[in-house]
Amino acid sequence: MAIPPLKLAVLHYQPSNETADPVVTHIQDSLSELGHQSVGIAVHDRVFDILQAIGDSQCDMVFNVCETFADDYRMEVNVAALMEMARVRYTGSGTAGLLLAQDKILTKKLLQYNEVKTPNFATFDGETFETHGPLRFPLIVKPAKSDASLGIGQRSIVHDWDELTKRVREIRKEFQDEALAEDFIEGREIYVGVLGDANRPEILPFVELDFGNWKANQPRISDREVKFGPETEGSPRLVMAKDISDDLRARIERAALLAFRAVKLRDYARIDFRISAQTGEPYILEVNPNPYLEKQSELAMAARERGMGYTQLIARIVESAAERYHLPKKVAVPPPVEAIKPLETAVHQADRGGAS
């Protein structure tokens, strides 16, 4: 799909006195290579500033990589909802997908309903608990709405009811959130990228987390140190997955596709799997809408393996969103400025109760 040059605002989270995440520069450089104009819009903790900045930019569409608001990752969906109320076009999953994927309990219930394998689990809201399938220790316990492995580490693995109760209380106290306990699946960890819309999604080659020289007596957990710590000799690192049989690949791809559709994701996503070392079955651990798009991320690695450079990956995301909003596919020359309705007008109309 060829689209004309657009003006895109790259919306990202950036607290005061902090530098922008490198992903912002990566995306803007790619947009420039594609012939688009771009402007960065930093978000912190002022709601009005978001709409004001988007309106002032007079952009055709927002490239949304804002994963936090006011230091609270759970507010990511609210930023998207704000744009939807203001009739702002934006890339990535909408409020439905963000809300469903953010809540791990809802995600797992949807997966079970669609007969997609996910570890058996139990939920704890502070007063009651509910089980979904028979549970066997060891279990892994995590906050229901955490992001980027917050609340996950070696102490997340519990081996009896006393340890389980203690960890649930810790999560309730630290995160003010429901606790989710699920069967701990020991085995290979696989990340599957998906591009496009629910009708014609593309499954990218699999990326694997190689745990390197992991201590044999420790459960393999992708915690924050693994994800964000410096890479040293023998430390966990991302590699392209090898030695995946055709049958297993087909099962993983089918599960990823069903999850993408069930959780109402769009444009791009990453589905995380564990392949059981005991049974060889693939289990979905997590569904990630709008995953990190830095040049060395899992999604960028998978795209390169497919023969798609980083700039092409960004182009695919923009094209998917542009098609959803029915932006013109081809024009001989850019339309005159006066023919384009400024986005600021739409924002102001939304403030008054809706656009005409």
CATH of the domain at 85: 3.40.50
Specify the length of the chain in residues. 356
Shared-domain flag, residues 29 and 69: yes
Domain stops at, among 159, 183, 207: 183
In degrees and rounded to multiples of 5, residue 162 shows phi and psi of: -65, -45
Shared-domain flag, residues 169 and 191: no
Shared-domain flag, residues 146 and 222: no
- Answer whether residue 109 is part of any domain: no
Shared-domain flag, residues 21 and 65: yes
Residue type, 242: K
**How many CB atoms are located within 10 Å of the residue 218 CB?**
10
Which two three-digit tokens encode residue 355? Answer: 């656009």
Q: Which range of residues forms the domain containing residue 37?
A: 7-92+315-352
Looking at the chain, list the stretches that DSSP marks H as alpha helix, in order from N- to C-terminal side.
22-33, 47-57, 76-85, 95-102, 104-113, 161-175, 224-228, 246-262, 298-305, 310-324, 343-352
Cα–Cα distance, 356 to 345 (Å, whole number): 11
Percent helix, strand and coil across the chain, each to the nearest 5: 35, 20, 40
- In terms of Cα–Cα distance, which of 276, 89, 307 is closest to 189? 276
What percent of the chain is predicted at pLDDT more than 90?
A: 72
- pLDDT one-digit tens code per residue, 211-264: 888 777 888 887 656 666 667 777 789 999 999 999 999 999 999 999 999 999
CB 59 within 8 A of CB 50: no
Instruction: Tell me what the pLDDT averaged over the chain comes to.
Output: 88
Shared-domain flag, residues 201 and 274: yes
- Answer whether residue 12 is part of any domain: yes
Shared-domain flag, residues 173 and 191: no
Cα–Cα distance, 155 to 140 (Å, whole number): 9
- pLDDT one-digit tens code per residue, 39-93: 999 999 999 999 999 999 999 999 999 999 998 888 999 999 999 999 999 999 9
Q: Residue 347: pLDDT above 60?
A: no
Shared-domain flag, residues 58 and 147: no
Which residues are CB-contacts of 162 (< 8 A; sequence separation ≥ 6)? none
Dihedral-angle region of residue 203 (phi above 0 means left; psi in -120 to 50 means alpha; beta otherwise)? beta
Q: Residue 184: pLDDT above 70?
A: yes
Burial call 110-119: b when 16+ CB within 10 Å, e when fewer = bbbeeebbbb
CB 23 within 8 A of CB 38: no
Q: What angle do CA 214, 104, 123 make, to 5 degrees?
A: 95
Cα–Cα distance, 154 to 156 (Å, whole number): 5
CATH of the domain at 279: 3.30.470.20
CB 281 within 8 A of CB 117: yes
CB 1 within 8 A of CB 323: yes
Which pTM value belongs to this model? 0.87
- Answer whether residue 1 is part of any domain: no
Q: How many domains does the chain have?
A: 3
For the four alpha carbons of 95, 269, 11 and 45, in that order, the dihedral sign comes to positive
Residue 356: predicted pLDDT? 35
Domain stops at, among 183, 198, 227: 183
CATH of the domain at 156: 3.30.1490.20
Shared-domain flag, residues 178 and 202: no
Shared-domain flag, residues 202 and 178: no
CB 304 within 8 A of CB 239: no
Residue type, 246: D
Domain stops at, among 168, 183, 198: 183
- pLDDT one-digit tens code per residue, 310-329: 999 999 999 999 999 998 75
